[in-house]
Structure 1
Amino acid sequence: MALNNTYDARLQQETAVGAGVQILLLALLGSAIGLGPAGWLTGLAFAFATWAVLSRALHRSSLRDFGPANRVTLGRATLVGGVTALVADSFRSTPPVTLLVALTAVALLLDGVDGKVARRTGTSSALGARFDMEVDAFLILVLSVYVSLELGPWVLLIGGMRYGFVAAARVAPWLNAPLPPSFARKTVAALQGVCLLVAGSGLLPYPADLGIVSSALGSLTWSFGRDVLWLRRNSRIPVPAPAEPRVLELAAR
């Protein structure tokens, strides 16, 4: 029991450090650009929520070490928190686009790193994969909010589709069944962040941004629709309900 408590204490320290780094990033943003109250409150709420949810998940898991891959994902979560604060502040004033793009680009690039680290170090875990996926999903949601300010509220469908699927899975348990691996699904998921980043960068004219984001939404709708049809066709095969609702993967390790 004492040994387990020691492991748990070490894991909780990791999450606390992550929250501290998040607050430090917010302080740097505040001193650099004059982050407003909305940005501060949203960034702090993200840091606290990440710390609370991750701490609880680690306490309930059998992990004895946080692991290098989860540290990379926690670093990405810190960047996503910074992006979230900037987007929240954008309702008050236009954020520095270069800074927003830089934080988002690094977060997207690191998306492919944590999975490779997990495989090479033999530290892959269900919790790590879920953590990675949730960070990706939230980044897509935040980016869709930012881009919707320019292109319209329909862009929110990109960020909300995954969460809509989670809600639907609570009503229709057959949506909880595992899906077969799909390269197309992974590709479509990865493209969402890239397309939203390009549209949010302001580098292209409005028609180009509209076309890019429309294509992203179309491909995402096709991907979700294809998987839902597959699940429906195979719903006659009984499957055990998982402890937590399974979702369509937006990223995979």
Structure 2
Amino acid sequence: MALNNTYDARLVQQETAVGAGVQILVLALLGTAIGMGPAGWVTGLVFAVATWAVLSRALHRSGLRTFGPANRVTLGRATLVGGVTALVADSFVSAPPVSLLVGLTAVALLLDGVDGKVARRTGTSTALGARFDMEVDAFLILVLSVYVSMALGPWVLLIGAMRYAFVAAARVAPWLNAPLPPSTARKTVAAMQGICLLVAGADLLPYAGNFAVALLALALLLWSFGRDVIWLWRESRTTGGTEGTGADTAPAGKRSALELELELELAGR
């Protein structure tokens, strides 16, 4: 049995290595197609290595014996996000083909709901898979906000940075570690961020239109986060600020509110 477990673990780790290899292949294709410069290459390679390292560590800690079809879809999306990241980094030196960047982003966004459906149909929903899915989404939004900010201004970076700021704040304010109730509005707002940034980045609208679309995305995100923070604060007043820190919730107390929310998100993954 121990030998089988070791063999399964090696197979799972091999899949992450294959993912890194595919990422490098995508970079090679992009580099050949557009003559990508050093900035794009370095950023893309760093993304590939970081994704492989973080995912391998998470798989080792989770003890999963199979990578699963849903995680393969998410890994494919991560590969596309890596390509987008390389193109955005390269855009600081030379303007990338907008159609290529938009195409990769659009496919990544369209596949966002596929991994969840695959997980439910195959009965392979896991906390790791949901977290992987969430991190890929969050990083894509961050990269897109960087790209759009070059045309509309640094304020757009608030869209991509807000989720990470919330996680950082949860380390300082323990009451933010409480789990949030399910919310269709929250999911809708989150999905709209990628769409709005894609529209603004595609530059199909005049400057005022792109500005309005990005501003709408930020306004909705501020409303969604603000509503959740207020709810969490009220809950902390009710529970005396002990939510997520008691012995009955450990190790939940060591996780962020977004990680705790995964338990609720799994129902929709």
- For normalisation by structure 2, the TM-score amounts to 0.91
Distance 2:155 2:15 in 1: 38
Distance 1:244 1:131 in 2: 15
Aligned residue for 1:92, secondary structure, equals coil
Distance 1:65 1:192 in 2: 32
Aligned residue for 1:94, secondary structure, equals coil
- Is the Cα–Cα contact under 8 Å of residues 141 and 193 in structure 2 kept in the other structure? yes
1:246 is aligned to 2:257: yes
Deviation at 1:158, TM superposition (A): 0.1
Kindly provide the amino acid, as one letter, of the partner of residue 75 in structure 2.
L
Aligned residue for 1:35, secondary structure, equals coil
Aligned to 2:135: 134
- Is the Cα–Cα contact under 8 Å of residues 180 and 257 in structure 2 kept in the other structure? no
Aligned to 1:221: 222
Kindly provide the amino acid, as one letter, of the partner of residue 135 in structure 2.
E
Counting matched residue pairs gives 253
- For normalisation by structure 1, the TM-score amounts to 0.97
Kindly provide the amino acid, as one letter, of the partner of residue 163 in structure 1.
Y
- Is the Cα–Cα contact under 8 Å of residues 138 and 163 in structure 2 kept in the other structure? yes
Q: Unaligned stretches of 5+ in structure 2?
A: none
Deviation at 1:8, TM superposition (A): 1.0
Aligned residue for 2:200, secondary structure, equals helix
Distance 2:118 2:177 in 1: 28
Deviation at 1:64, TM superposition (A): 1.2
Q: Alignment RMSD, CA only?
A: 1.4
Please give the residue correspondences for 1:42-61 in structure 2 after superposition, counting only pairs within 5 Å: 42-61=43-62
Aligned to 2:22: 21
- Is the Cα–Cα contact under 8 Å of residues 102 and 198 in structure 2 kept in the other structure? yes
- Is the Cα–Cα contact under 8 Å of residues 71 and 129 in structure 2 kept in the other structure? yes
Deviation at 1:245, TM superposition (A): 2.1
Aligned to 2:163: 162
Distance 2:187 2:44 in 1: 29
1:207-240 alpha-carbon deviations (Å, 9 max, x no partner): 0001111010000000000001111111143332
Moved over 3 A (4+): 248-252
Distance 2:255 2:87 in 1: 31
Q: Unaligned stretches of 5+ in structure 1?
A: none
Please give the residue correspondences for 1:95-106 in structure 2 after superposition, counting only pairs within 5 Å: 95-106=96-107
Deviation at 1:126, TM superposition (A): 0.2
Kindly provide the amino acid, as one letter, of the partner of residue 244 in structure 1.
R
